[in-house]
Amino acid sequence: MTAITTRPSAGRDPALRRRRRRTPLSWLRRGGLSNLVFLLPLLVIFGVFSWGPIVESVVMSFQRTNFVVTQWVGWDNFAALLRDPLVPTAVLNTGWFALLALIFGYPIPLVVAVLMSEVRRARGLFSALAYLPVVVPPVVSVLLWKIFYDASPRGVFNTILGWVGIPPQPWIQSAATAMPSIVLEATWAAAGGTIIIYLAALTSVPPELYDAAEIDGAGIRHKIWHVTLPQLRPVLLVTFILQIIGTAQVFLEPFLLTFGGPANSTLSILQLIFRYAFQNSIGVDYGKATALSLLLALFLALFSFVYFRITKAWSDD
Amino acid sequence: MRIDSAALLVKDPELREVPDVVGPGEHPTEDRDEIHDIYRGWRAVADTYPGTRVLVGELWVPDIDRFVQYLRPDELHTAFNFDFLARPWDAAELRASIDATLAAHAPVHAPSTWVLSNHDVTRPVTRYGRADSSFAFLDKRFGTPTDLDLGTRRARAAALLTGALPGSLYIYQGDELGLPEVEDIPRELLQDPMHYRSGGVDPGRDGCRVPLPWSGDLPPYGFSTGAVSAAPWLPQPASWARYTVQSEAADPRSMLALYRAALRIRRAEPLGDGPFAWLDDAPEGTLAFRRGDAFLSITNLAGHPVPLPAGELLLASDELGQAADGSRELPRLHGVAPSTAASHGEPSPEKGKTMKSPRTVGAAVLALTALAGVAALSGCSSSGDQPANGQVAITVASLIPGSSDDAFKQFNQRVKEFEKANPDILVKPVEYQWTGPTFSAQLAAGTLPDVFNVPFTDSKSLANAGQLADITSEVKKLPYAGRFNQSLLSVAKNDSGDIFGIPYGPYAYGLSYNRDLFTKAGLDPDKPPTSWDEIRTDAKQISDKLHIAGFMVFTSGNTGGWALTEQTYARGGRMEVTKDGTTTVTADNEQTVDALKFLQKMRWDDDSLGSNFNLDWSGMNQYFGSGQTAMYPSGSDVLTSLVQQNKVDPKDYGLALIPTEGTGSGVLSGGNVAVVAPNASKAEQQASVKWIDFYYMQKLLDKKSAIADAKSLVANKQPVGVPQLPIFDKKQLDTSLGWIDSYINVPKANVAAFQNGIFDQTIIPEPAKHTQELYGALDSVVQAVLTDKNADITALLKGVNTQVQALIDADAK
């Protein structure tokens, strides 16, 4: 209160303003304290629940600990990661998931969004239908899909396939089909959110651009290619990186659907981290788990940095 | 000479109505002043006789000052003191009554009298177990709940309290036997006019007038003897065999023994006469007084144990506790008197917790202590080194989350029994399931229960890692500490031999099968497969006929490796070999390869393993419970969980031996270890071991506990007779099973195939080093074999060798 009411009328005199900036007193007079007070809850919450644990996990990646006995092991955890044959498996699996998710999960929402933007009637209904899977709690939807994926001829999907004469598929019970099955579920679950983003972006495309293109004789394909996509470019670039970051951290779907199986064919990096930390029952590998987390985080940070550097030119275009 | 209704001899000559407000001496029929002339006359007559003639008045005069007027030197010698027996079990109330009684009697030089009940009053054992332990004629109602155990303990304490007070002691016949009020006399047999006058709402006084039991096991318990064949006027309960004089005289812990001992002391000390003084520095909530210089009586009505001063203990009404510093203490009399306020029904069952209302908790133990000197008294108040409420609270693992309400009810019943036997321990059950993922975090966060269980697989590693409490000294104190099967106990020890837990419920692998599905598939459910080839043909028949999995094995969550290890043992192979202190992983042994090839054939040639190859322990139980597989190998104790979690009917369940073939073959065993959280305090650790002893061990060692456990299991629809291995030796197991034979509800024939053969099998423990990681690595191999027709078994197993060997070698460094 005091800080606000006694604030000088304004820093009209540049010299005065400069001088004030330098002293803590002037910082205080300019409302620094109340700013800080407003910031404080945020700082505390982030500090306690986010930054603190981050620092903690960096520290832990150099330790061997079970929370009772802790010892420093230097780079041992990282060295052990390099020796573990499951690390390349997990990296490849995650890459495979990311690629499949990109192939299915990236274009499908875009196509659906473009189609939906063309729909004149009952658009609200379609939006609601598209967004519905996002509203369903992920655990529920994954477990539902697990039932759908029942590999016996009586399974939901296999029954449907049976109607059109396709033999029963093993779905998540085979190394070859497990990952695509997971991607299918993940795409279904996540598409709604992306569609809504695209829809919003599409409505912001000025209609006169389409008019101009039509006058120039452009068909629907040309309109999409030359008007819609370039207009959506900034949004597409952001959703792309979000998708990469998201898929690199895939955990829930393989954890619930396959637990990494069969035979580690769907073991993702995050799941491997989980295994290190928890699955050996005694939990002595928190160090290795945090070390792998750290590597993943570093990789994603680096990737994002490079990505934004490269695409900066495109989006500024 | 006893004068009945001694205050009612004179009526108002005008026979007036009873006014609303009655002043002293103004009641038209009761306690009128003229009555004293009569007693003066009688006393004169009595005094003319030689020897001792005593006039005793039965006087219900609430005003103590008017009461003692009857006891003036030229009237009655003495009278019953009903004020004391009407008071509730409360230190302040009883002390007020004692003070008032002694003060009123002093001026008339009459002896005070003490009595706990008479033929008009609810028996003390019943009355002191009630929420309202005072007595009033008008409050008597049918169906007032009581806790007889609590009431008995209090009545014992009250007997010693009254026995130590100065004056005459009266005992109403049957109180010395601890007889409870008989509250279930058939209504048509009730005699008391009070019952009929009340319009049938007041049970009347017949409950304390039932003929006494003297001897024998059946009514009339020696009350009528010889040729008399008529039944007594009131029926004696069938449960009274244990209250007979004959049986109590033989039991040193009986009420009769207590009364006799107290009376001997009363005469020897002698307590009927002589000085009386309250002890000023006695702990709050106790009635402590000195009789002379060398006699002390302490009655504990506080809600916690109180320390006992030094001195020779003459008699105690209850077992003494031991304070943290090793000194003796009077235990608190702990329990919840059923509340009448909770309405006329039974006390409401509380799931998962046992709340104690401090107000209704009474505590009583009386000790008569001969003291060396008064100096010793000063030590008594300062030695109270207790937690505020004198209790140790521990949390204990109850059941797996999702277990049925019946199962929880059974568990809570056991908790109540334990708390009754250990009033200084408060047990809070929490749902618990051992899972590796949450264990460390729970431990770090301090949210583990004080008592929980871990599988044999992990107990040793946890002990070595300092993640469990060292309870060596507590375990060694157990009377049966030396009798454990040493190879089983070793799983609960760390490498230096300290003990970190008590193993229980050991099991061997068995073949669980669904008898119903066997029948449906045209197989004989009484002839389960006895060789691996029979398993294969039976499975094929089942899956061909019923289109479900005929047989299935665990595949994930580390259980795939666990089950594969058993399949290896069954063929004589080993997953790890330790020689000269070095452990080598031998997952690629011939027998494991055979086991996997066997699965491969069932999967790809017969297609008899169904279509779900991602089944962990719970998943498989669910799969089996819902009839999707007819057979699977698992622990022989799995039926308990199948009943509790998957609603499997023991009638449809069968358990057979896993076929063993080849030299060195045997059966994988396992079990659980009851352990204590490392962050539990010393007192909590002691209480925890008491709980482990009570809940996990006593049913194997003590007939009464075994029956109590079986009874409550049956009452709560839980399986009794689930096959297990002995924790001590086979003889002990057989004995304990004999005790509960009539309660066994798992059809014996259904598990006979397992039960009859298991003791001829070699029992083999789990692989010792990095067991969980080994199992986890083997999971993938099993999954690969079941999902990839061309899986290279040998290469996969060699991979496991490398992976786990690296972990073992890293430890050695």
Amino acid residing at B310: A
Give the Cα separation of B73 and B82 in Å (integer). 21
CB-CB neighbors (< 8 A) of B810 in chain A: 80
Whether the CB of A167 is below 8 Å from some CB of chain B: the reply is no
SS3 B583: strand
Q: What tokens appear for B800 in the block?
A: 């496991």
Interface test with A, best of B614, B628, B781, B785 (most A CBs within 10 A): B614
pLDDT tens across A238-278, in order?
A: 888 888 888 888 999 998 898 888 888 999 999 999 888 87
Q: Where do the domains of chain A lie, and which CATH numbers do they carry?
A: 2-48 (no CATH), 77-316 (1.10.3720.10)
Cβ atoms A290, A61 nearer than 8 A: yes
Per-residue pLDDT, averaged over B391-397, amounts to 90
What is the number of other CB atoms lying within 10 angstroms of the CB of residue B762?
A: 12
ipTM above 0.85, yes or no: no
Interface test with B, best of A57, A83, A171, A280 (most B CBs within 10 A): A280
Interface test with B, best of A87, A281, A286, A290 (most B CBs within 10 A): A281
Contacts of A265 (CB under 8 A, 6+ apart): A93, A175, A176, A178, A179, A258
CB-CB neighbors (< 8 A) of B773 in chain A: 280
**Min distance B746 CA to chain A CA atoms (Å):** 33
Question: CB–CB of B458 and A281 under 8 A?
Answer: yes
Model confidence band, residue B389 (pLDDT cutoffs 50, 70, 90)? low
Q: How far is CA B668 from the centre of its chain?
A: 34
* Matching residue, tokens 């077992």: B319
Model confidence band, residue B644 (pLDDT cutoffs 50, 70, 90)? confident
Q: What tokens appear for A198 in the block?
A: 């695209």
Whether the CB of A315 is below 8 Å from some CB of chain B: the reply is no
CB-CB neighbors (< 8 A) of B616 in chain A: 259
pLDDT attached to residue B811: 76
Per-residue pLDDT, averaged over B396-403, amounts to 84
Per-residue pLDDT, averaged over B753-779, amounts to 89
Whether the CB of A30 is below 8 Å from some CB of chain B: the reply is no
pLDDT attached to residue A21: 52
CB-CB neighbors (< 8 A) of B791 in chain A: 263
> Does the pLDDT value for residue B234 go beyond 50?
yes
pLDDT tens across B426-483, in order?
A: 999 998 888 766 777 787 777 889 999 998 888 888 888 888 999 999 999 898 888 8
CA-based nearest residue to B568, from B598, B539, B540: B598
CA-based nearest residue to B456, from B499, B498, B504: B504
Expressed as residue numbers, the domain containing B577 is: 509-670+741-812
Mean pLDDT taken over chain B: 84
The residue of chain B with its CA nearest to that of A273 is: B437
Model confidence band, residue A1 (pLDDT cutoffs 50, 70, 90)? very low
Helix (H) or strand (E) run with residue B287 in it: strand B286-290
Question: CB–CB of B556 and A173 under 8 A?
Answer: no
Per-residue pLDDT, averaged over B389-407, amounts to 83
Cβ atoms B418, B429 nearer than 8 A: no
**Of residues A173, A279, A284, nearest to B612 (C-beta):** A173
pLDDT attached to residue B809: 87
φ and ψ at residue B204, rounded to 5 degrees: 80, -165
**Of residues B467, B770, B780, nearest to A66 (C-beta):** B467
Q: What is the percent of chain B where pLDDT is above 90?
A: 34
Question: CB–CB of B457 and A83 under 8 A?
Answer: no
DSSP output for A228-243? IHHHHHHHHHHHHHHH
SS3 B418: helix
- Residues of B near A (Cβ–Cβ under 8 Å) read 436-441, 443-444, 457-458, 461-462, 465-467, 547, 555-558, 610-614, 616, 678, 770, 772-773, 776, 779-781, 783-784, 786-788, 791, 796, 799, 803, 806, 810
Per-residue pLDDT, averaged over A197-208, amounts to 86
**Of residues A69, A153, A264, nearest to B466 (C-beta):** A69
Question: CB–CB of B783 and A284 under 8 A?
Answer: no
CATH code where residue B644 lies:
3.40.190.10
pLDDT tens across A137-191, in order?
A: 888 999 899 989 988 888 899 999 999 988 888 899 888 899 999 999 988 888 8
Per-residue pLDDT, averaged over B247-261, amounts to 89
pLDDT attached to residue A12: 47
> Does the pLDDT value for residue B149 go beyond 90?
no
Interface test with A, best of B612, B620, B790 (most A CBs within 10 A): B612
- Greater pLDDT, B282 or B511: B511
Give the Cα separation of B114 and B172 in Å (integer). 11
pLDDT attached to residue B365: 40
Cβ atoms B230, B162 nearer than 8 A: no
CB-CB neighbors (< 8 A) of B555 in chain A: 261
Report if residue B53 sits inside a domain.
yes
pLDDT attached to residue B328: 63
Give the Cα separation of B676 and B472 in Å (integer). 11
pLDDT tens across B648-665, in order?
A: 999 999 999 999 998 999
CB-CB neighbors (< 8 A) of A70 in chain B: none
Report if residue B115 sits inside a domain.
yes
| B753-B759-B764 Cα angle (round to 5) | 110
Strands B392-397 and B425-430 come out as parallel
* Matching residue, tokens 């140790």: B392
> Does the pLDDT value for residue B358 go beyond 60?
no
Ranking A280-284, B1-5, B362-366, B567-571 by mean pLDDT, the lowest is B362-366
Q: Averaging pLDDT over each range in B80-89, B97-106, B137-146, B744-753, which range is the top one? A: B744-753
Give the Cα separation of B72 and B53 in Å (integer). 16
Q: Is the bond into B220 cis (omega within 30 degrees of 0)?
A: yes
Q: Is the bond into A262 cis (omega within 30 degrees of 0)?
A: yes
CB-CB neighbors (< 8 A) of B461 in chain A: 281-282
**Helix, strand, coil share of chain B (percent; to 5):** 40, 15, 45
Domain tally, chain B: 2
Question: CB–CB of A282 and B772 under 8 A?
Answer: yes
CB-CB neighbors (< 8 A) of B612 in chain A: 150-152, 173
* Matching residue, tokens 């039926």: B639
What is the number of other CB atoms lying within 10 angstroms of the CB of residue A241?
A: 15
**Of residues B770, B772, B788, nearest to A263 (C-beta):** B788
**Min distance B347 CA to chain A CA atoms (Å):** 40
Domain end call among B272, B306, B341: B272
Q: What tokens appear for B613 in the block?
A: 């190859």
> Does the pLDDT value for residue B386 go beyond 70?
no
Give the Cα separation of B492 and B60 in Å (integer). 66
Cβ atoms B309, B380 nearer than 8 A: yes
CA-based nearest residue to A263, from B596, B567, B607, B550: B596
Give the Cα separation of A81 and A76 in Å (integer). 9
Question: CB–CB of A68 and B806 under 8 A?
Answer: no
Write out residues 81-100 of A within 8 Å (CB-CB) of B. 83, 85
Interface test with A, best of B552, B558, B559, B611 (most A CBs within 10 A): B611
pLDDT attached to residue B343: 31
The residue of chain B with its CA nearest to that of A76 is: B810
> Does the pLDDT value for residue A5 go beyond 50?
no
CA-based nearest residue to B553, from B506, B605, B509, B593: B509
Question: CB–CB of A263 and B616 under 8 A?
Answer: no
Model confidence band, residue B316 (pLDDT cutoffs 50, 70, 90)? confident
**Min distance B652 CA to chain A CA atoms (Å):** 25
**Min distance B615 CA to chain A CA atoms (Å):** 10
Report if residue B800 sits inside a domain.
yes
Q: Residue B312 class from Cβ within 10 Å (0-12 exposed, 13-18 middle, 19+ buried)?
A: exposed
Ranking A163-177, B306-320, B381-395 by mean pLDDT, the lowest is B381-395
pLDDT tens across A12-55, in order?
A: 444 444 444 567 777 777 777 888 888 899 999 998 999 999 99
Domain end call among B242, B272, B302: B272
Ranking A105-119, B602-616, B787-801 by mean pLDDT, the lowest is A105-119
Looking at the DSSP bridge assignments, the partners of residue B313 are B369
Cβ atoms A29, A3 nearer than 8 A: yes
The residue of chain B with its CA nearest to that of A152 is: B611
SS3 B329: strand
Report if residue B231 sits inside a domain.
no
Looking at the DSSP bridge assignments, the partners of residue B513 are B631, B654
Q: How far is CA B617 from the centre of its chain?
A: 31
CATH code where residue B49 lies:
3.20.20.80
